[in-house]
A and B are shown apart, each in its own frame.
Chain A
């Protein structure tokens, strides 16, 4: 690729990660990762623990050297530069507040390193503290703060230098569930307010989906899919992404023309697929895309319909999860939003879904 076409391809991207490899001894933590992160984007790196997401974040921050590949910030190669020479700041998972300094001095630390006039430091610290709602606590020491307050200090300290990119390593993991949901909204609001590109690492798919503009799903050091939350949910590219994002029913079989062949049902029609005939394949159906009907009712024309037995159900408030067993023994979950009369355990029912809701994934 010529320089010209490359720069056009990366237009609007603050960070370009180009075939980055990171090895720890013989372990490959990042395996040719390539990603482009856009200006002012809220970008999430999502994956199970050990997938390499934190390693990637630490490479961008400058805490790990990449083994090979390039990391560009505004078109300039970051490889070999120290953390203090990058216009990138990080919020650490442990928050890493300095215990011997007051909140105020923690937040001012990065500005004082730039040798700014103390009056400007003061102004900007006040400003950032009020942005995160901590002004009244500026004289406290970190050990006198609650978990949520510590998180805000860490955030204030990281954004005060107005970095091009803010890295957040599992920012909400240490908070309890209720606070976590509040902070998801708060982080999103803050990102809009300060206008900084956020890259957040998380293992929690709900967190990634609710906050991020785009999400990269990683597993075993590789990027499996990049897309908006809706794209990932509706069009997962493989079994791993489909299983990791939301809930999914999988029926195992082989690819066939116009569908998937699953014993003993024969070919079940699906949306389009590009797998070679007889290749191992999964038919994937979201629980909320399927419906359950009494087995004596006629199926809607064109829908896929299979016989099933009700195994159990779980009422979780707004929804009820029906656990079914198909004729081939596979478990199948249907999520129902309504309060219609539901079948009882061991009832014979039919489960059906629109042909287009059945996705084909490589097995």
Chain B
């Protein structure tokens, strides 16, 4: 078991360590602790520009994905009994990225959509919607619809009922969907590469830097990405766990 964990985590540990290594090349020998590579990352205007582009793309793609994905999940849960439609939602997640990339590229050139930030946003929304729908659906499975009926019964119309009852109850699911989609969009390389045109996202920037060899600066960049992704994913997990605890407490106290 120890070996397996070492296999899983040792490369990451090395990566993080080398990002603090005070050496010109990313050599394995330790030359002393420094944070100057992080400084260089933030001095590099190309990297910063790419990072900004990526954050913009991720924000818009997340908004679209979570909005449409939540509606899709509600629609699937309530208004369809079709197993085919149900699995059709998850299908985009199973298609290899490279296929999605090629498909989107051909499709966008067919309809004459200019490649750039906009096309990446749309491309990321494709699986973002699927992810968000899948995550929100797990939240909806335990949703008691009589809560909405109770709200109508107490004099609140359909639309305000959605905002006062339905949405607050599924919010943890919606937020964790947003965190996951955002993280995936920030990290995503293959699809972005195909649909980017001249736009440079952060992963594309890293890829072009790495062609000149692995520098400590790249290690620093990778470490930043790692920490960022982990924070978001842990955030999403925490939201889900908080909910599970509540459920547990209910089942414990109910018979009292």
Question: Which residues in A have some Cβ–Cβ distance to B below 8 Å?
Answer: 61-63, 82-84, 88-90, 92-94, 96-100, 109-110, 113-114, 143-147, 157-158, 161, 176
Contacts and interface: CB of A to CB of B under 8 A. Distances in A.
Nearest to A89: B153
8 contacts: A61-B149, A84-B153, A96-B147, A99-B246, A109-B154, A109-B156, A143-B247, A143-B249
Contacts of A96: 144, 146-147, 149-150
Contacts of A176: 255
Given A83-B153, A146-B253, 12 more contacts: A61-B153, A62-B152, A92-B149, A96-B149, A99-B246, A109-B151, A113-B155, A143-B246, A143-B247, A143-B249, A145-B253, A147-B255
A83 B149 contact: yes
A92 B146 contact: yes
A283 to B, nearest CB: 45
Contacts of B247: 143
A58 B251 CA distance: 28
Contacts of A146: 253-256
A161 B168 contact: no
Contact of B155 (A84, A144, A147): A84
Contacts of A145: 253
A101 B167 CA distance: 13
Nearest to A169: B146
A84 B149 contact: no
A92 B246 CA distance: 22
B154 A63 contact: no
A29 B146 CA distance: 20
Interface string B31-55: 0000000000000000000000000
Contacts of B151: 98, 109
B156 A84 contact: yes
Contacts of A109: 151, 154, 156
B98 interface: no
Contact of B253 (A99, A110, A144): A144
Interface in B135-194: 144, 146-147, 149-157, 165, 168-169
Contacts, number: 75
Given A83-B149, A100-B169, A147 B156 contact: no
Nearest to A90: B153
Contacts of A84: 152-157
B250 interface: yes
Contacts of B168: 100
B150 A92 contact: yes
Nearest to B154: A110
Contacts of B156: 84, 109, 113
Contact of B144 (A90, A94, A114): A94
A99 B170 CA distance: 11
Contacts of A89: 153-154
Nearest to A109: B154
A174 B256 CA distance: 12
A269 B156 CA distance: 61
Contacts of A98: 147, 150-151, 165, 169
A161 B146 CA distance: 18
Most buried by A among B150, B151, B154, B157: B154
